[in-house]
Structure 1
Amino acid sequence: MNLKITPNNLAKLEKIFEESKYQIRYEKGTFMSGYCVLEHKKVVVVNKFLTLEGRINTLLDILPAIQVDRDFMSAESQKLYQQVLDSKAIADAEEEAAAANEDENPATPE
């Protein structure tokens, strides 16, 4: 998703999690992916050493994977959430098309 890397956009993403009753914690840890999601406790732990860009990208990665109740979200949050989902769907479709194209035209070793 083409979201500008600004503290304001990070705050907007954090607001979506907050409205979804998820708590975001920035902690030190050895996360392979830079984050950990505790579904039952509704806690998202993000590596505190990530840059602003890393934090935004991490939250964008997590957002489509969590349960979100749109009834409790503001109109602005709903709009941003829908943009994230649409962007994810487009990226997934492009990935599948690339994989299908690769299956049809396998690279031949020389």
Structure 2
Amino acid sequence: MSLPLTNHTLEKLEALLFAVGFKVRYEKGTFKTGSCLLEHNKIIVVNKFSNLEGKINALGMLVKQTNLDENLLDEKQRQFYHSLQQIQLF
């Protein structure tokens, strides 16, 4: 099973991260997508030039590597989060 490579999937990942306090920014540059804590703000910077698959895989991996507070998620987001835990990302 894998994530569908659609804009809808990207939007769901962004909404999930936003719900737990992350800001997702798309910036130009020659860098890999990553997250950081900047003055107590949780920020994820995504390479604007990455293709859709790269953006989805990067955000999906960050979600899988981060312990999210499920209490901040609504039921649909919680189901999506649990389904992400079962998916093998590259």
Which digits, 9 at most, give the CA deviation of each residue in 1:14-43, with x for residues without a partner? 110010110000111232xx2121134210
Larger of the two Rg values belongs to structure:
1
* Contiguous gaps of at least 5 residues in structure 1: 92-110
Identity %: 33
- How far apart in 1 are the matches of 2:81 and 2:35? 18
* Contiguous gaps of at least 5 residues in structure 2: none
Partner of 1:74: 74
User: Between Structure 1 and Structure 2, how many residues are aligned?
Assistant: 87
- How far apart in 2 are the matches of 1:84 and 1:3? 8
Deviation at 1:86, TM superposition (A): 2.2
Amino acid aligned to 1:36: G
- Scaled by the length of structure 2, what TM-score is found? 0.85
Partner of 1:35: 33
Partner of 1:4: 4
Identify the structure with the greater strand proportion: 2
Secondary structure of 2:41 counterpart: coil
Deviation at 1:80, TM superposition (A): 1.0
Matches within 5 A, 1:86-101: 86-88=86-88
| Bigger relative contact order, structure 1 or 2 (CA pairs below 8 A, ≥6 apart) | 2
- Structure 1 runs of 4+ off > 6 angstroms? none
Secondary structure of 1:42 counterpart: strand
- Scaled by the length of structure 1, what TM-score is found? 0.71
CA contact (8 A) 2:36 2:42 kept: yes
- How far apart in 2 are the matches of 1:27 and 1:68? 24
Deviation at 1:57, TM superposition (A): 0.9
